[in-house]
Structure 1
Amino acid sequence: MVNGLVSGRLALVTGAGSGIGRAACQVLSREGATVIAADKNYDAALETIKKYTALASGSNATGDHTALELDVSDPKSVQSLLQAVLKEYKTPPRIVVNSAGITRDNWLLKLSEEDYDSVLNVNLKGTFLVMQTFAKAMTEASIAGSIINISSIVGKYGNIGQSNYSASKAGVVAMTQTAAKELGKFNVRVNAILPGFIDTPIVKTVPDKVMHNMLKLVPLGRLGEPTEVAEVITFLSSDKSSFISGAAIDVTGGF
């Protein structure tokens, strides 16, 4: 696409195998970006490229898009990803979307230390490792970049059974705001998005009765679509948001 919002830009999306990450790949490619879909589940990332990203680009071919395996919580995996990107594209991505995330829900009084650690390792440490690694690559290459970190509205208000998840997502916001202050002098913008109840694989595990009560809290009266979050991601990736950095934007239907 010649006139897309992010035409000619290279974009890395973590957690690209499903949900918001997959939708981000779809919308970014529709708007002209070359997409690197990274996920711990390589087959799911590949499916994103073949079934969603290529179609959004108006083609049945994967083109310059690529799928790569990534464990965001493993520093060696993150470094290997950077080297693979530099080898393939000869440049770091201008757009980095940190969408990889997991849940291990339980009551605070029953939550295991293992489940606490695993959620913090992926959601918070993983975001840190990817952001640090690729921001460094951007600054060394003197590239003006945009980093979008996916937090959650529960990072602001908390949620029953999600003390680990809400803590990790609150940390993402604070880290985003700090990174924006540090990276602004390099012309790298950093923003966070706080989705509400979005129709993703994680939400599909919620019992119908609980879901009904959750939707009562949403003034628009429905779940959000992953593409509705992806449109905001793409806006923050583009020059349309050139003076927005350090922001934490709710995408919640008014929750």
Structure 2
Amino acid sequence: MKQLLEGRTAVVTGGARGIGFAVAEAFVAEGANVVLADVDGAAAATAADAPQLGGRAIGIACDVSRSNDIENLVTVALKKFGAVHVWVNNAGITRDATMRKMTESMFDEVIAVHLRGSWLGTRAAAAVMRDQPDGGAIVNLSSISGKVGMLGQTNYSSAKAGIVGLTKAAAKEVGFAGVRVNAVMPGLIRTDMTAVLRDDILADKIREIPLGRAGEAEEVAQAVLFLASDMSSYTTGNVIEVAGGRHT
């Protein structure tokens, strides 16, 4: 039986851990070669050597907010694997604080990594995919925070809402070339980012979720896999929520 991503190459930013690494695992399990990009190059290299990736991944240091780093990422992927069929903009950071306490640099850092980084990645991936016979698939990671807003996250909520707009606009620009652009909007997911939450805050957040639990990175990865594969061949400009039913 043919694997969903057999013979394809995928780039995953923020791929050294959490959702990014779970996406890499799902992709390799379905036949893909993967380039794991992370601002922590050593962590990316270590992740790429993980046994579950079966020697089908490479790791590279990349600051997604820097266009030169994104261009180098493309060059490395093409040199190693010859094509880029899937690109996942997943890299992210948080700098939480109320607006009264949030500095301009805290706002700018989050916007640079999430929104500028996703824009740079989408632009670079589309430039390659437009020249490929079968186009390609770009998947951006938004967040439920970008839909409902979160206390202390005006920077993060703004960036994640912007990613939805980026996804829909880019899908209209590059659809003619067979390039699909979609987004996944995770809710509360167990990652290093959420591991720092106090138990009482975590419990409060879980009470807001109809399914009554936090999600797992692997559950987000399955949605990304769907959008990256031919299972979603007639889907573009869409957002899939993986948030346990939370909508407000």
Match in the other structure for 1:221: 212
Q: Is the 1:180–1:246 Cα contact (8 Å) retained in structure 2?
A: yes
Cα RMSD of the aligned pairs, angstroms, is 1.1
1:37 aligns with 2:41: no
1:124 aligns with 2:115: yes
Match in the other structure for 1:68: 60
- The 5 A counterparts of 1:75-224 are 75-91=67-83, 93-224=84-215
CA–CA separation in structure 2 for the residues paired with 1:148 and 1:76: 21
CA–CA separation in structure 2 for the residues paired with 1:232 and 1:4: 16
Q: What is the TM-score of this pair, normalised by structure 1?
A: 0.94
Which letter maps to 1:201?
D
Q: Is the 2:64–2:120 Cα contact (8 Å) retained in structure 1?
A: yes
1:21 aligns with 2:20: yes
Q: Is the 2:125–2:138 Cα contact (8 Å) retained in structure 1?
A: no
CA–CA separation in structure 2 for the residues paired with 1:55 and 1:17: 13
Secondary structure of the 1:168 match is helix
User: 1:63-82: CA deviations, max 9, x gaps?
Assistant: x4211111100111111111
Which letter maps to 2:12?
V
User: 1:87-131: CA deviations, max 9, x gaps?
Assistant: 22222x110000001100000111100000000000000000011
Which letter maps to 2:60?
L
User: 1:194-247: CA deviations, max 9, x gaps?
Assistant: 000000000011111100100001111111000000011011111111111000
Match in the other structure for 2:236: 245
Secondary structure of the 1:100 match is coil
User: 1:122-177: CA deviations, max 9, x gaps?
Assistant: 00000000110111111133442000000000100100000000000000000000
Match in the other structure for 1:4: 3
Secondary structure of the 1:140 match is coil
Q: What is the TM-score of this pair, normalised by structure 2?
A: 0.96
CA–CA separation in structure 1 for the residues paired with 2:2 and 2:76: 28
What stretches of structure 1 of length at least 5 have no aligned partner?
none
CA shift, 1:33, in A, is: 0.7
CA–CA separation in structure 2 for the residues paired with 1:181 and 1:11: 22
Extract structure 1 runs of 4+ deviating beyond 2 A. 140-143
CA–CA separation in structure 2 for the residues paired with 1:244 and 1:90: 25
CA–CA separation in structure 2 for the residues paired with 1:115 and 1:132: 25
Which letter maps to 1:173?
V
Match in the other structure for 1:235: 226
Q: Is the 2:49–2:57 Cα contact (8 Å) retained in structure 1?
A: no
Secondary structure of the 2:59 match is strand
Match in the other structure for 1:49: 48
Q: Is the 1:131–1:147 Cα contact (8 Å) retained in structure 2?
A: yes
Q: Is the 2:93–2:110 Cα contact (8 Å) retained in structure 1?
A: yes
What stretches of structure 2 of length at least 5 have no aligned partner?
none
CA–CA separation in structure 2 for the residues paired with 1:37 and 1:45: 6
